[in-house]
Structure 1
Amino acid sequence: MKKSLLFIFVNLILLVAISCKKINDKAGSTALEEIPEDSHPSFDSTMVTTFFKKHPLLEKYQNEVRELYQKHQYHYVWYDKKGVNEFGSLLHNKIINIEEEGVLTSIPYRQKLDSIYEIAPASQKPNVTTELLNTSMYFFYVDKVYQGLDTEKTNQMEWFLPREKQSYSKYLDSLLVNPSLIKKEENGLFAQYYLLKKVLKNYRQIEKKGGWETIVLDSAVKSLNVGDSSRAIAQLRTRLFLTGELKNDSKSAIYDDELTKGVLEFKRQTQNTSSTIILPSHLKILNIPVTDRIKTIIVNMERCRWIAKDVTKAKELIAVNIPAYELTYFKDGKPSFKSNVVVGKTLNKTVIFSAPMRYIVFSPYWNVPYSIIKNEIKPGIEKDPDYLAKHNMEWNEGHVRQKPGPKNSLGLIKFLFPNSNSIYLHDTPSKHLFSRRDRAFSHGCIRVEKPKELAEVILKEDPNWTPEKINKAMHKGKESWYTLKNKIPVYIGYFTAWVDTKGDLHFYDDIYDRDKPLADLLFDK
């Protein structure tokens, strides 16, 4: 996926989780409790109810606020001996700049919050309203920035990757003791959130300067080629310079070698065939307004919030990004193998979920799903009584299965991670599909372009297997199952914007039209 895919993780969560271990004493008390109690006077517990009656826009966080103060016997936590502590000012700065986190929301009681920090916070005496407003706004911030949409809404987005509900009350203690933690960013296995945050800043700067000009081809021109000269080429050069595919903008209207490099880079980042020809279809992509690109980045930052942080702990991980048509195998947190894939067509969408891989099946049978028997095989048999024999199929206990062999629809190998969606990875005899830009052709399962190589990296440290034995088992013509010694998490995710290890931003087609419903939720504020 955490959230190549999938899926970075919250600096607040990762860093604080580490720091908590360091600041807890042997008895398990938090560092906040180690501060002399006389620097933390208490307040009347009934004031919590009073506060939320006066601040109903923050009522969502009442239970968390109450639990926090019950734990600390209703002592003030935002004040030290001098006044409002350092973390209060840092949190205020984070909140008023929350748009930098890809969060588009109004800030409740913004004026009241700002007024607290308009005067020197260190000179202020303990005040219950200030105290409870700071605490409520802390939970508001972590909810918006680190939790994102709730599970019910993400399920409506057909996103079924596991989510881990966090309790941020404990983390607040550590931040109050060491405020600098909130300034840091920790790039784990999926550093996507922070990488997307960085490119979001760049794209917003482009937007403030007016965005980019629409590239217009003369009606008589069908394509742009090396050596051509036109105004559209000068526009293309400027467009690629703005988003970094070109390092310089010479303003030249001639399609030269320098522009060639930028065009090839643009095509690499948008899954287009590596050629120097610019067609109207390419200009259509380049002319997508910067405001729309910003929305896409923000939508994918939100998806990063839905990735469970424990993904980073996996020694091995297989991640499939559906819109990228790409599988990545991670070893010890680093990508060590990639393969193109074919995913489900629009009517048979590949589901977004995760499950542990348990088995590799060599020379597999293909047990044909009933829907395919009904819609394809039975009509085929009616037209041709020899349909099953011609397709190397047979009846088996009332079901149809295709025999092992090179023409088997699953190819020579499949990888099973049992799940209710009946989705798995497999080989395919239809190798020509991998050369296409759009690769949504399957009935829902994921076809792998390099299945033998995937098996080799998975079994590399298993003494029972060598590349030669894997190849032999694949071509044996008799189905055999192998149980993996170590289960490998498989995450199937959906990201239409992704920053690679080089720092380059890739945009992928929204093949299942999932971005707009999510954008409507995020931007309808």
Structure 2
Amino acid sequence: MADSEADGLSPRDYDARDLKRLIDVADTEGNTKALARADLALSRAFAALVADMRRPARGVKMRYIDQEAEPKPPSPADVVRAASLAPSLTDYIQTAGWMSALYMRLRSARAHYLDTWGGLPAVQIPEGVKLRPGGKAPEITLLRHRLGLSDGIAYDKALAAKVKAFQTDHGLKPDGVAGAMTIAALNDGPDRYDRLLALNLERARVLPGPWTRHVVVDAASARLWYYSKGALDGTMKVVAGTKETQTPMMAGMIRYATLNPYWNIPSDLVERKVAPKILSGASLKSLRYEALSDWSANPAPLAQSAIDWRAVAAGQSEVRVRQLPGGNNAMGRIKFMFPNDLGIYLHDTPQRDLFAKEDRHYSNGCVRLEDAQRLGRWFFGKTPTTDSDAPEQHEPLPQPVPVFLTYLTAVPTAQGVQFLPDVYGRDGE
């Protein structure tokens, strides 16, 4: 309660002074009534604190496609019951086990960031200069002052190390050279970055605590985490949507897996990629595609010759085209479905080279998984397999699992915090 300012709350709301008085009375008198009064007061205050910490911010645009995934105000009984089930009440409270582990790490990272960079002088450094180790430009004095070092004009090892640390924490290349981007970040001052940290804390606030079995996908860093029984069970890289085809902020319930999936090719890709190939002499069969009459569950196949491909390429006509299952299918061998009207899901992929890239924003909005089989084993308790090569085999999960697609442009690291590029331009909304 005393630390709740870090959560955007007011410690005064929980009347800590009165709680301490009740505890002192219980300690002094030691009778059942005094203990009961203290216990009830502490339980009510704890329930209020948890409910306030869990309350979503109005400005976070998370879309909930399943009611089960939408945060609901916990009742005092729910709060106390969840705490009583934890192996250690002390650990549960000290780690705020009702909050997402990502939230708590980001909360600590914010405190570390403010301690490291928040109290330094707000000195403006002239733009258009490039300061590097070994240099002796007059602007180096301003740079040293801005980063809290002793006066001087030398770009020495201490200054280079400080610049590298600043660059690392602010999502810049840590080369120790104060160029245009580093100077712009320095001139922004800590206030802007503290606001970014506060915004990302609000985004993380809606994520469940680790005692809820769930999956988190962060489109900004292109990573995935999965939790259960109070612990992180695993993490992996993902490929998220491009700037033009963004992975949305949404939450739903993963209900089933589809093995040997088709890939229903988006209409714009049929227009831009498929139709030109057909017009250049390729065939649907050679591409392992098939054309269909409509988007129903049981569409009729269309002959390639029955389609006006010039009209499709010109955007004057649309046709449904899907890729047949197989090793080269864009969906890979399996996809995990949380039914939604945007056609977003998690899936395997044959394009393994993309996971070696630092920036992994290449998809059409869906989430490509670095290790779909490992995630499948976590969902099912075994490796999901098929009995035949038949396409689109649906396998319901033993229990639906919530999935949260979020967007964290400030992420906790082992050293503190790192700011990531705002690929989708959402931080300014």
* TM-score in terms of structure 2 length: 0.64
User: Contact 1:233 / 1:255 at 8 angstroms: preserved in 2?
Assistant: no
Report the counterpart of residue 243 of structure 2 in structure 1.
345
Deviations 1:286-313 (A, max 9, x none): 443211111112222223332344x523
Give 1:254 deviation, angstroms. 3.2
Q: Match of 2:197, SS?
A: helix
Which of the numbers 396, 400, 403 marks the counterpart of 1:490? 403
* Equivalent residue letter for 2:236: K
1:313 corresponds to 2:209? no
Deviations 1:384-411 (A, max 9, x none): 453645644222435311134554333x
Which of the numbers 194, 197, 202 marks the counterpart of 1:302? 202
1:102 corresponds to 2:8? yes
Report the counterpart of residue 146 of structure 1 in structure 2.
53
**CA separation of 1:283 and 1:335: change in aligned 2, threshold 3 A:** farther
Deviations 1:409-461 (A, max 9, x none): 33x3333123213212234455555455544332210123x23xx41364279
CA RMSD of aligned residues (A): 5.2
Report the counterpart of residue 510 of structure 1 in structure 2.
422
Distance of 1:138 and 1:295 partners within structure 2? 28
Q: Match of 1:300, SS?
A: helix
1:253 corresponds to 2:160? no
Q: Match of 1:513, SS?
A: coil
**CA separation of 1:358 and 1:263: change in aligned 2, threshold 3 A:** farther
User: Contact 1:350 / 1:445 at 8 angstroms: preserved in 2?
Assistant: no
User: Contact 2:211 / 2:228 at 8 angstroms: preserved in 1?
Assistant: no
Q: Match of 1:289, SS?
A: helix
User: Contact 2:278 / 2:284 at 8 angstroms: preserved in 1?
Assistant: no
* Equivalent residue letter for 2:377: L
Report the counterpart of residue 95 of structure 2 in structure 1.
186
Which of the numbers 204, 209, 224 marks the counterpart of 1:327? 224
The runs of 5 or more residues in structure 2 that have no matched partner are: 25-40, 81-88, 293-299, 302-319
Which one has a larger percent helix, Structure 1 or Structure 2? Answer: 1
Distance of 1:169 and 1:465 partners within structure 2? 38
Report the counterpart of residue 192 of structure 2 in structure 1.
292
1:395 corresponds to 2:285? no
Q: What fraction of aligned residue pairs are identical, expressed as a percent? A: 19
**CA separation of 1:279 and 1:260: change in aligned 2, threshold 3 A:** same
Q: Match of 2:94, SS?
A: coil
User: Contact 1:414 / 1:424 at 8 angstroms: preserved in 2?
Assistant: no
User: Contact 1:343 / 1:447 at 8 angstroms: preserved in 2?
Assistant: no
Distance of 1:199 and 1:464 partners within structure 2? 36
Distance of 2:381 and 2:428 partners within structure 1? 48
Give 1:321 deviation, angstroms. 1.0
Which of the numbers 272, 279, 297 marks the counterpart of 1:376? 272
1:167-206 matches, cutoff 5 A: 167-168=75-76, 185-188=94-97, 190-202=100-112
Q: Match of 1:301, SS?
A: helix
Which of the numbers 343, 354, 365 marks the counterpart of 2:262? 365
* TM-score in terms of structure 1 length: 0.54
Q: Match of 2:206, SS?
A: coil
Give 1:205 deviation, angstroms. 5.8
Q: Match of 1:302, SS?
A: helix
Distance of 1:290 and 1:401 partners within structure 2? 50
Distance of 2:269 and 2:116 partners within structure 1? 49
The runs of 5 or more residues in structure 1 that have no matched partner are: 1-90, 123-133, 173-179, 243-247, 518-525
User: Contact 1:163 / 1:306 at 8 angstroms: preserved in 2?
Assistant: yes
1:256-267 matches, cutoff 5 A: 256=157
Distance of 1:505 and 1:291 partners within structure 2? 15
* Equivalent residue letter for 2:203: R
**CA separation of 1:381 and 1:203: change in aligned 2, threshold 3 A:** closer
1:459 corresponds to 2:397? no
Report the counterpart of residue 44 of structure 1 in structure 2.
none
Which of the numbers 418, 428, 433 marks the counterpart of 2:338? 418
